[in-house]
Amino acid sequence: MIFDVGSNKMKSLGPILTVLMVIFAFWYLMAIKLNSQWEYDQAVRAKVEVGFWDILPNTMQQKKPVLPAPHQVLTGLWDGLAGQPITSKRSLVYHAWITLSGTIYGFVIGTAMGILLAVGIVYNRAMDLSVMPWAIASQMIPIIAIAPMLAVVVHALGASAIVTKAVISAYLSFFPVLVGMVKGLRAPEQMQIDLLHTYSASKTEILWKLRFPASVPFLFTSLQVGIAASLVGAIVGELNQPAGLGARLLQGTYHGLTVHIWAALIVASLLAAILVKTIQGFERITLVKMGMRK
């Protein structure tokens, strides 16, 4: 039997579309329900009698709806992405770029920190006993509580906006890398380490020739979690900054511009999907090259 990959994809398209339609239908119903109160209040103020069918169209085109209808969000999204020059402060591309640069910056720092700490933990007994509890504790503190303080401190040290963001990003992303790398560096069996001992290999050689290559699959799994955490960190870090998706979210909240908020949220999740997919792409290429994926 010949399996047609294309038709398999078509087969999964049906359920996906069905689920999507159910979500949209529910979304519209909720929009009508949540936004109708404001329409009734307006009618009372204007002293006119209105029925449900009179206000129905209006619930889907309010300027500041409680819950914007899907088409409003999509229009807002399209306007933000394509309706502005990308250098404009009203452009979502501009804000996404600001967030992305902070995310990458923090991700690189966080990944480097995670790897260095993992090597320390694997090679140094004192670090093995002391670092992990602190690392876990650092992640127990809600980021929303510590971010403003971190931002103030880092800013007071004279760091630029992007560095402030990157610090928060790194704070969130070092942890998954640390945990994955400790496991990865310890993945080689005793026999493989003994083998290198019989060659009188040094600790550094064991690290480079055995522990690092063996940890690559673990690293990539961690990087996927890490990049998503970096994005969250960057957005949280932008809450007190003038630009970026986080700033856009907060401005939307201040001014009740719910369409803006939803549009920014969708851009953020698209960004997360692209970043994770990119890491997965690198993972596939690397593992194929290393012969670890058939």
CB of 85 or CB of 291, closer to other proteins: 291
Q: Counting contacts by CB under 8 A, is residue 186 touching other proteins? A: no
CB of 40 or CB of 199, closer to other proteins: 199
d(CA 165, CA 149): 12
Cβ of residue 290: shortest distance to other proteins, in angstroms? 4
Cβ of residue 192: shortest distance to other proteins, in angstroms? 6
d(CA 52, CA 223): 51
Token pair 């398999």: residue: 8
CB of 217 or CB of 226, closer to other proteins: 217
Using CB under 8 A, which of the segments 85-93, 113-121, 128-136, 186-194 binds other proteins?
A: 186-194
Using CB under 8 A, which of the segments 12-20, 22-30, 192-200, 235-243 binds other proteins?
A: 192-200
Kindly write out the interface string for residues 194-233 of this chain, putting x where it contacts other proteins by CB under 8 A and - elsewhere. Answer: xxxxxxxx---x---xx--xx-x-----------------
Q: Counting contacts by CB under 8 A, is residue 52 touching other proteins? A: no
CA angle in degrees (0–180, nearest 5) for 214-120-275? 60
d(CA 80, CA 266): 11
Q: Counting contacts by CB under 8 A, is residue 187 touching other proteins? A: no
Token pair of 76 as six digits: 């807002």
The radius of gyration of the chain's CA atoms, rounded to the nearest angstrom, is 25
Q: Counting contacts by CB under 8 A, is residue 93 touching other proteins? A: no
The per-residue DSSP string of 155-203 comes to HHTT--HHHHHHHHHHHHHHHHHHHHHHHHHT-S-HHHHHHHHHTT--H
Using CB under 8 A, which of the segments 43-51, 122-130, 265-273, 284-292 binds other proteins?
A: 284-292
CB of 70 or CB of 213, closer to other proteins: 213
CB of 60 or CB of 196, closer to other proteins: 196
Query: Torsion angle, CA of 79/80/82/88, rounded to 10 degrees?
Result: 120
Q: Counting contacts by CB under 8 A, is residue 290 touching other proteins? A: yes
Q: Tell me the residue length of the chain.
A: 294
Cβ of residue 125: shortest distance to other proteins, in angstroms? 19
CB of 160 or CB of 202, closer to other proteins: 202
Q: What is the 3-state secondary structure (H, E, C) of 234-266?
A: HHHHHHHCCCCHHHHHHHHHHHCCHHHHHHHHH
Chain residues that interact with other proteins, rule: CB under 8 A: 189, 191-192, 194-201, 205, 209-210, 213-214, 216, 290-292, 294
